[in-house]
Structure 1
Amino acid sequence: MTDVTRADVEDFLFHEADLLDQWRLPEWLELFTDDAEYQVPCMDLPADASPDTNLFYIADDRFRLGERVKRLMKRTAHVEFPHSKTRHIVGNVRLKPRPDDDIDVSAVFTTYRSKDGITDLYLGSSNYRLTPTEDGFKIKSKRCVLDTDALRPSGRISIVL
């Protein structure tokens, strides 16, 4: 952890956001470890809620995340074909070392999604567990907690936050 700076982590998170905005989802998927988790809990749940006992919007392990990416990249994913235009903005990045070599990272996000003449706004906080590698980092877990009262107007999350 002593060699890792906040700027290093921010560059990684900015790279992740850029991959998502360009719909380079297969490359984005490669940022995750083989045992990774990606979660988006419902907005009425406490921060420490578990997908084992609560309903989540998204609770994917690495395999399910891979299937989600494959599905979103196909023309038959009608809700996202043609793809939405998105802009992921990341800020307030904070690092917390762990006893192992991993790093806990918290950040806030704003994601704009434009499709069919409607622009949706998703905002919240992301909590990551990053594993340092020779080439940078891998995502061991990512949890996006939405800070809005409701999903509007479509009532769904069809993009990756």
Structure 2
Amino acid sequence: MTVAAWHSVLRFLGQEAKHLDDKDWDAWLALYAPDVDYWVPAWDSDGTLVTDPTKHVSLIYYKNRGGLEDRVFRIRTGRSASSTPLARTSHQFQLIDLSEPDDVVLARTNWVVHTVTEHAVRSYFGTAHYTLKPHNDSWLIHAKKTIVLNDRIDQVLDVFHI
């Protein structure tokens, strides 16, 4: 892994955080490949995540970008329970691992998101695992698995909360 590759991935993932905080939904969606697998698994029991999003309950699961596009459509309508009113957010992440098997880059981050809605501040935190492929002079996200480590989640989570 080169320093240049590390920096390139770090900058790319920073753009994802920026687009979510800025609510720049079109730019955020453009980071994802059409066939992206976007998964936020639930905990089966304390310390054990579910292993198959097609057979177990997940916090969020979309098998392609169409699901994310639908999610953004609902956010924009202002009629989504999880996004009314729309939270202000601050996404922070740390790139902690990067590897390059075959023609993809696997990245792992630790993250925390602070949200403010109706004078209530909430924080969510966890890890995220990305599968990235080169695209033009940057990257596209082909898979993202986000693990939420909070014990309690007292609202409906949406893509911008994590």
- Would you say same fold, with TM above 0.5? yes
2:5 paired residue number? 5
Query: Partner letter of residue 55 of structure 1?
Result: V
Higher share of residues assigned helix: 2
**Amino acid paired to 1:102:** V
CA offset at residue 2 of structure 1?
6.0
Q: Secondary structure at the match of 2:150?
A: coil
Unaligned runs of 5+ in 2: none
Q: Which residue of 1 aligns with 2:128?
A: 126
Provide the aligned length of Structure 1 versus Structure 2. Answer: 158
Which one is further off, 123-132 or 38-47?
A: 38-47
C-alpha change, 1:48 and 1:106, in structure 2 (3 Å) is farther
Map 1:137-152; keep pairs closer than 5 Å: 137-152=139-154
Q: State the Cα deviation string for residues 88-138 of structure 1 (Å, max 9, x = none).
A: 001043111112x11111000001110001111110000000011223000
Matched, 1:69 2:99: no
3-state SS, counterpart of residue 43 of structure 2: coil
Report which stretch shifted further, 43-52 or 58-67.
43-52
Structure 1: gaps spanning 5 or more residues: none
User: 1:146, 1:83 → 2: CA distance?
Assistant: 20
How far apart in 1 are the matches of 2:50 and 2:108? 14
**In the alignment, is residue 96 of structure 1 matched against residue 65 of structure 2?**
no
- Give 3-state SS (helix, strand or coil) of 1:63's partner: helix
Identity of matched residues, %: 24
Q: CA RMSD in A?
A: 1.9
CA separation in 2, counterparts of 1:117 and 1:58? Answer: 26
